[in-house]
Amino acid sequence: MAIPTNGDSMPRLSDLIAVMEGLGYGTDDQGLLFSLNAHLWRTMVPLVLYGTPEQRERYPPGLADGTLIGANASTEPEAGSDIYAMKTSARPAEGGYFLNGTKTYITSAPVADLMVVYATLDEKAGPLGITAFLVEADTPGVQGSSAFDKMGLRTAAMGLIDLRGCWVADSAVLGRPGRGSQVFESAMEYERGSILAACLGVMRRQVEKAVDHARRRQQFGQPIGKFQAVSHRIADMKVRLDAARALVQRIGELKDQGESATLEAAVAKLFVSEAYVQSSLDAVRLQGAKGYLSENPESWQLRDAIGSLLYSGTSDIQHNIIARELGL
């Protein structure tokens, strides 16, 4: 499908959100879609927004046709929520920079070809020292780990990246030196608002399956859907789905009109992730013991959903952003 653009070579976000919901509805492999999110929002979007003509010519075609896998390397062992406390350093050298540091919990790190790596020119400068770099995975001094074993999103390979005396040319800077926080924040706004679009598809499937199961499963001589405790639980899943979709679609509408969506993206991320976990838990409850078996999707949907409370800023951090945007 050809996705229309907003006139500035950026596809319409509303269309991307709709596509992601459709993919989420159509597959049980949320790990694959999660990797696609990291690739799209945190590699492709910053390139489209901040790339030089050379960078935009070199990388997006491969990222679009799948010959290149993208990753975003910002989190460090000692800098998670407090991301601007990062220690990975960028030391100017002849014609470029030496990068040194460790990035962790990086989605697709074990398989990535291209990474957007954030490093600081001056640790004491906080956000003002941060610079974004495009680092190819086979650059000397880049060492990846094998994939971490994690509770959910198991097909999304997550790992660590060590940078030791990794030299990159000036042309690898994405955006401007010392302005990496701008690249980071604008990509985050897209990601926060849209990363859960695929989850809408899962929530939609959960409602459909719950209704079907509640009609067919008989206990005490009647379908369990006749018990109000069960039917109301499914009604709540439907309410969460519709509210979540409206919040995610609002991000698409705002960004397509060229508007800022800092507050709205944090509201969407917070509400949708919490709703996703709650509905996934309800989906397990509705199936009874069957939903607890590893072979059934309800069990892995719940494990996948829990990650959403953490990535792209935890729920606590979304609360902080919302409070800050309200002037508190």
**Residues belonging to the active site:** 191
Residues 144 to 173 in contact with ligand FAD, rule: CB under 6 A:
153, 158
Q: How far is the CB of 19 from ligand FAD (least distance, A)?
A: 21
Give the Cα separation of 178 and 122 in Å (integer). Answer: 9
End-to-end Cα, the chain, rounded Å: 44
The residue (of 3 and 151) whose beta carbon lies closer to ligand FAD is 151
Q: Does 306 bind ligand FAD (CB under 6 A)?
A: no
Rounded distance, CA 154 to CA 30, Å?
9
Cα gap 302→229, rounded to integer Å:
21
Q: Give the length of the chain.
A: 328
Name residue 161's beta-bridge partners.
Answer: 103, 144
Tell me the two tokens of residue 54: 């050379």
Residue 320 as a binder of ligand FAD (CB under 6 A): the answer is yes
**Candidate ranges 25-33, 268-276, 279-287, 312-320; the one touching ligand FAD (CB under 6 A):** 312-320
Which residue, 240, 123, 117, is CA-closest to 173?
A: 117
What secondary structure letter does DSSP report for 98? E
115 binds ligand FAD (CB under 6 A): no
Torsion of CA 53, 57, 58, 64, to 10 degrees: 130
Judged by CB under 6 A, the residue of 105, 133, 271, 300 near ligand FAD is 105
Nearer to ligand FAD, 14 or 311 (CB): 311
Please say whether the beta carbons of 300 and 145 come within 8 A: no
Residue 114 contacts ligand FAD per CB under 6 A = no
Under rule CB under 6 A, residue 314 binds ligand FAD = yes
In angstroms, give the least distance from the CB of 137 to ligand FAD. 14
Nearer to ligand FAD, 80 or 177 (CB): 80
74 and 82 Cβ atoms separated by less than 8 Å: no
Among 16, 20, 38, 115, binds ligand FAD (CB under 6 A): 38
Interface pick for ligand FAD out of 119, 196, 307, 318 (rule CB under 6 A): 307
Question: Left, alpha or beta for 138 (phi > 0: left; psi -120 to 50: alpha)?
Answer: alpha
Q: Which stretch binds ligand FAD (CB under 6 A): 121-129, 165-173, 292-300, 310-318?
A: 310-318
Binding site for ligand FAD (CB under 6 A): 38, 72-75, 80-81, 105-107, 153, 158, 307, 310-311, 313-314, 316-317, 320
